[in-house]
Amino acid sequence: MSKLSLENVTYRYSVGTPFCKTALDGVSVSFEENRVIGLIGHTGCGKSTLVQMLNGLLKPTEGRVFLDGKDIWENPKEISAVRYRVGLVFQYPEYQLFEETVRQDIAFGPTNMGLPQEEIDRRVEEAALFVGLEKETFDQSPFELSGGQKRRVAIAGVIAMGPEVLILDEPAAGLDPMGREEILGGVRSFQKEKKSTVIIVSHSMEDMASYADELVVMDHGKVARTGSCRDIFSDRDSLLGYGLDVPQITRFLIELNALGVPVRTDLFTVEDVRKELLRLYPSLAKGGKR
């Protein structure tokens, strides 16, 4: 049984007005436990709608959403319990901070859940550790922090709610390489330790190649493809058709292949390509065959 799944879900905005728009069109997809899943697709493909569907912020116009095999809308009054179990971090989450101190802001979600104080404290510290926030910042105002730190406070605020599924919409958008690595690495270690399901929406194929176990490709309100990074990235033509591309290192392999060098083209991290080239051509390490 999958952790979280959508069954034939359709969603239309502004039904009954001339602005009516179908954002999701009969989507069926399931997300398994204990892995990082990358959700990729061109802007406007329905990714943002899909993630809001997964934690009950939006209700499907048609179709059903299952969490642990149970329809989340069976009892609409209990939807907030679903939101605690499926944590959602929006794009630019630093703009939702509001408390006086970092500690209070991270504790906001857990407090709303009605947890006892010691448990809240424990979770705040644990969540801060995952995203790499130093303890010195705890009593500072979140508004005094740098952009990257604010982002980490906001993500910690959702992690502290102890979600079984954590969804992040473009968590690294606008950050520099170091900031990206810190956040994505933190999310990865959270996933490893909690064995939870993590869904990351991203535009960066390079990031997906290094952090995601599986990919879900969306196009025009539908799920176009699902599979491992290898499955998805070894079919560049269809990715191009969805307005996406493969990582640069994979394009390099394709280019090399076209020049008549018989390398495999289904690798997508620098490390794998390095190993493959050295395995195929040990002579490279001695300065080529010349």
The order of strands in the sheet holding 197-201 is 86-89, 165-169, 197-201, 35-41, 214-219, 222-228
Q: What is the chain's length?
A: 290
Q: How many CB atoms lie within 10 A of CB 290?
A: 4
Q: Does 186 bind other proteins (CB under 8 A)?
A: no
Nearest to 43 by CA among 200, 221, 184: 221
Q: Does 176 bind other proteins (CB under 8 A)?
A: yes
> What dihedral do alpha carbons 77, 51, 158, 59 form, nearest 10°?
-10
Q: Does 65 bind other proteins (CB under 8 A)?
A: no
**Binding string, residues 204-243; x marks residues near other proteins by CB under 8 A:** --x------------------------------------x
Q: Does 203 bind other proteins (CB under 8 A)?
A: yes
Residue type, 109: G
Task: Report how far residue 23's alpha carbon sits from residue 37's, in angstroms, rounded to the nearest whole number.
Answer: 21
Catalogue the E-assigned strands of 136-281. 165-169, 197-201, 214-219, 222-228
Question: Which residue, 11 or 66, has its beta carbon nearer to other proteins?
Answer: 11
Window of 65-73, 118-126, 143-151, 222-230 that interacts with other proteins by CB under 8 A: 143-151
Among 109, 171, 186, 221, binds other proteins (CB under 8 A): 109
Question: Which residue, 193 or 255, has its beta carbon nearer to other proteins?
Answer: 255
Q: Please check whether residue 31 is in contact with residue 67, taking contact to mean a CB–CB distance below 8 angstroms.
A: no
Q: Find the binding residues for other proteins in span 31-60 (CB under 8 A).
A: 42-43, 52, 55, 57
Task: Report how far residue 174's alpha carbon sits from residue 172's, in angstroms, rounded to the nearest whole number.
Answer: 6
Q: Does 76 bind other proteins (CB under 8 A)?
A: no
Window of 63-71, 108-116, 127-135, 228-236 that interacts with other proteins by CB under 8 A: 108-116
Binding site for other proteins (CB under 8 A): 13-14, 17-19, 42-43, 52, 55, 57, 80, 83-84, 87-88, 90, 93, 95-98, 108-109, 112-113, 143, 146-148, 157-158, 161, 173-179, 203, 206, 243, 247-249, 251-252, 255-256, 258-261, 270-271, 273-274, 277-278, 280-281, 283-290
